Chain A
Amino acid sequence: MDTSGFFFQAFVYLGAAVVSVPLARRLGLGSVLGYLLAGVAIGPFGLHLVGQEGQDVMHFAEFGVVMMLFLVGLELEPSLLWRMRGPVVGLGGAQLAVTSGAVAALGLAFGLPWQQAVALGLVLAMSSTAIALQTLTEKGLMKGDAGQKSFAVLLFQDIAVIPMLALFPLLATAAPRGAAGGHGPSALDSLPGWAHGGVVLGAVAAVVIAGRFLVRPAMRAIARSGMREMFTAAALLLVIAVTLLMTAVGLSPALGTFLAGVVLATSEYRHELESDIEPFKGLLLGLFFIAVGASIDFGLMGKAPGTFLSLLAGVMTLKAVVLLGLARAFRARTDQGLVFAAALCQVGEFAFVLFSFAEQSGVLPPELAGTMVAVTALSMAASPVVLALNERLLLPRVGTRPSPARDADTMHEEAPVIIAGYGRFGQIAGRFLRANGIGATVLDVDSDQVDVLRRFGQKVYYGDACRLDLLRAAGAAKAKVLVVAVDEPEKVLEIARTAKKHFPHLRIVARARGRTEAYELFDHGVLDVYRETFDTSLRLGMDVASMLGLHPHRALRAARTFRRQDEAVLREMASIRHDQEQFVRTARERIRALEEILKADADGGRASEDHAWDSEPLRQAVLAHPQARAPGDGGGQ
């Protein structure tokens, strides 16, 4: 192997990722788009750093998708999966049928032979598991209705790939062009149908049984060896073994590892496996996206940009419309439906495999397949943009508009407290206030959460508290305190800024993720800042100290001192951190902050010593004057 070439390639890929992903995230575009842009940048139409081998890299990196499905499986317990069977078959089946039907009809209308139209429809109905799951997870939408529905559809598509591969040769209009790659025909093709089915079933059964009875004892043995890297090796081995087995019997490896994941979801090694596979998955998926970016054929596009762009827009719009319709039919809220449609409207990575298979088995002519591969890649690149646009432009317009009845409700309420963000953090404060008869108007952006809370009779409103009109509708003009408890630090700042500007009388009480976020809030004049883990963590420390024998009351007083000092250092640091020059500020800040904290701890050993009930000085005075009546005879001790 040409190692210098290999290292250079690795350097290019990793370098591109390290530069563009943080950049994309900073711009609020998500990591997937960052990887794709990195791919475009280093690809044949960018810096020419990678060429044709991008395709090979993509095939290798598809393994990242396989790992991702293993991880998804680990998160899903069998019982949960069983409960999802309805949406998987119903919604997933409907999506595939309607989308491929519509595409096929259009294809026929444009004069394609019916075989090609059907094949095209089936392939374009696929969505990208990698992009959709990664983006939804990143945005924290996976647990919501849109996330669950997306997952159901993606799972069904994954399963559907298998019969599609079997179906394509039957649709051939031209002679097959040699052996097909990827998930194509396997060594089992010579077997009669019933035997083939038996082998496939046997392989699935083998995965389930091995997962149940073989993997656990093996993992236990490895765990006993106490070697961390053996665990990682075993986890990788497991995934690769399943992949090999599935490929051998002609099943989708992604589906196989997903199944293995589900089987192991109830095992005690679930989190261990998760954390071992996670970094590989992340890297490979990144590599996959980069390869997709690098493989976009801008040359082909350049020849007929109009046709190309209308094809792209047409496919994505069609898919989105079908998805929206289905979301409505399956009773999703409008905002969740939009997220669902935006997340799945691209053509997925399976399309690469299916298109090359279709081309090789003579179903689709090479030009058509080539164009569609480029459309697929571009649709994957466009989908993070679509999601971002949906989030910025569409979502704020739907659902967030409070109905007149709700509006009036809020206005009449005039609660003294407004709580923005009613998740894990806001809920505790809200429940406490409620329990003590203090009314609070609650705003949250999770529509399902809002519905649940409303069903329990709580006055919770759907909406983004960043919006001035919504704050006003919630009674900000009359309220006394605004509790900003949303998850994202940027949101906290934004809400605080808006409220400070338009409702100066409001006292703003804000949640801060940590020190840095607390400083930001101080800078914006928010003085009531609560670091989200500080109190709990300190209480834990205190309890551990008393478990180890420190007297509980002493531990309590020590924790109080610690907290006082830490708060003081925090405020002091916030006030001095702007004195430095702009360009060294960021760099020095962290170092200084750390130093200050350590220094405070070092001082703490002496200066913070609790003097309460220390009778030693008094005792020394008494012993120095044995006959004196004062001071030792007095009342203090």
Chain B
Amino acid sequence: MLAHPALHRSRVNRRLADAVRGLPGITLHDLYAAYPDLDVDVEREKTLLTGHDALVWQHPFYWYSTPALLKEWQDLVLEFGWAYGPGGHALRGKPFLSVVTTGGREVAYQHGGFNRFTVRELLAPIEQTAYLCGLAYLPPLVVHGALRLDEDEIAAQAEFYRQVLIALRDGRIDPASVADRPSLDAGTFALARG
């Protein structure tokens, strides 16, 4: 699920999306294209979720959170009795991965750094949401310093993202083995593939 309200201005997210677009077995769901007026079709979203084995959110890290439409999506789609609560087992056991791009560099997302918390800590509401829905939470894939990346670096990040999604698709990633890692970097990825 891609959530970026102005893809034409995006430097990194668009490239990441392009890298995974059209991969067999992977659906790139551009939320702002599907619901330009933010009018989320809940039933359609549920069908999509049931039809897939793993869930990936890709979005810029706006004010330490998701763009507005992805928040709206959570509020509407993750229904009580369907995604959580009694009988809410629709998402149980599916791996979940957050892919976020941040303007700040990695040094800024540390205790004592400019943003005082790590990205994974700042994503706690989403991690808890995933937990409540029984999703298997993976450490977030963070593209740091998106504003400063040059072409080669963006290409490398896009390729890494592609590899991760292919591995996730093929079920070669074991969320349990990397549950405590701060983020899904190359090292964590290697570990997760066993």
Contact at A616–B36, with CB atoms within 8 Å? Answer: no
Q: Does residue A634 face the partner (Cβ distance < 8 Å to B)?
A: yes
* Residues 590 to 637 of chain A near chain B (Cβ within 8 Å): 610, 612-616, 618-619, 622-623, 626, 629-630, 632-637
Query: Assuming the A-B contacts A622-B103, A633-B115, A637-B62, are A551 and B8 also in contact, with contact meaning beta carbons closer than 8 angstroms in the complex?
Result: yes
Query: Assuming the A-B contacts A551-B8, A614-B6, A615-B147, are A556 and B37 also in contact, with contact meaning beta carbons closer than 8 angstroms in the complex?
Result: yes
The answer, among B7, B8, B60, B115, for a CB contact under 8 Å with A637, is B60
Q: Does residue B66 face the partner (Cβ distance < 8 Å to A)?
A: no
Contact at A551–B148, with CB atoms within 8 Å? Answer: no
Query: Assuming the A-B contacts A551-B32, A553-B33, A618-B103, are A633 and B114 also in contact, with contact meaning beta carbons closer than 8 angstroms in the complex?
Result: yes
Q: Does residue B108 face the partner (Cβ distance < 8 Å to A)?
A: yes
Contact at B114–A552, with CB atoms within 8 Å? Answer: no
Contacts of A632 in B (CB 8 A): 103-104, 145, 147-148
Residue interface bits B107-148, CB-to-A below 8 A is 1, else 0 = 010000111000000000000000000000000000001111
Q: How many A-B residue pairs have CB under 8 A?
A: 80
Contact at A613–B5, with CB atoms within 8 Å? Answer: yes
The answer, among A556, A623, A630, A634, for a CB contact under 8 Å with B148, is A623
Q: Count chain B CB atoms within 10 A of each CB in A551, A616, A633, A636 and give the residue with the most.
A: A633
Q: Does residue A143 face the partner (Cβ distance < 8 Å to B)?
A: no
Task: Report how far A253 CA is from B36 CA in the complex, Å.
Answer: 58
Interface residues of chain A: helix, strand, loop or mixed (majority): loop
Task: Report how far A616 CA is from B6 CA in the complex, Å.
Answer: 12
Contacts of B8 in A (CB 8 A): 551, 554
Contact at A613–B6, with CB atoms within 8 Å? Answer: yes
Q: Does residue A555 face the partner (Cβ distance < 8 Å to B)?
A: yes
Contacts of B6 in A (CB 8 A): 553-554, 610, 612-614
Contact at B103–A555, with CB atoms within 8 Å? Answer: no
Question: Who on chain B is nearest to A560 by CB?
Answer: B37
Contact at B63–A556, with CB atoms within 8 Å? Answer: no
Interface residues of chain B: helix, strand, loop or mixed (majority): loop
Contact at B37–A634, with CB atoms within 8 Å? Answer: no
Contacts of B32 in A (CB 8 A): 551-553
* Residues 28 to 44 of chain B near chain A (Cβ within 8 Å): 32-34, 36-37
Task: Report how far A615 CA is from B61 CA in the complex, Å.
Answer: 12
A548 CB to nearest chain B CB (Å): 14
Task: Report how far A552 CA is from B63 CA in the complex, Å.
Answer: 24
The answer, among A552, A616, A619, for a CB contact under 8 Å with B33, is A552
Task: Report how far A370 CA is from B50 CA in the complex, Å.
Answer: 88
A/B interface sample: 27 pairs, CB < 8 A = A551-B8, A551-B36, A552-B36, A553-B6, A553-B33, A554-B8, A556-B36, A610-B6, A613-B9, A614-B6, A615-B103, A618-B103, A618-B147, A619-B148, A622-B148, A623-B148, A629-B114, A632-B103, A632-B148, A633-B105, A633-B113, A634-B103, A634-B104, A634-B114, A635-B61, A635-B63, A637-B102
Interface residues of B (CB under 8 A from A): 4-9, 11, 32-34, 36-37, 60-64, 102-105, 108, 113-115, 145-148
If A619-B11, A635-B115 are given as contacts, then 6 extra A-B residue pairs at C-beta distance below 8 Å, sorted by A number, are: A613-B4, A614-B6, A616-B9, A632-B145, A632-B147, A637-B62
Interface residues of A (CB under 8 A from B): 546, 551-556, 610, 612-616, 618-619, 622-623, 626, 629-630, 632-637
Closest 5 CB pairs of A and B: A633-B104, A637-B103, A633-B108, A552-B36, A613-B6
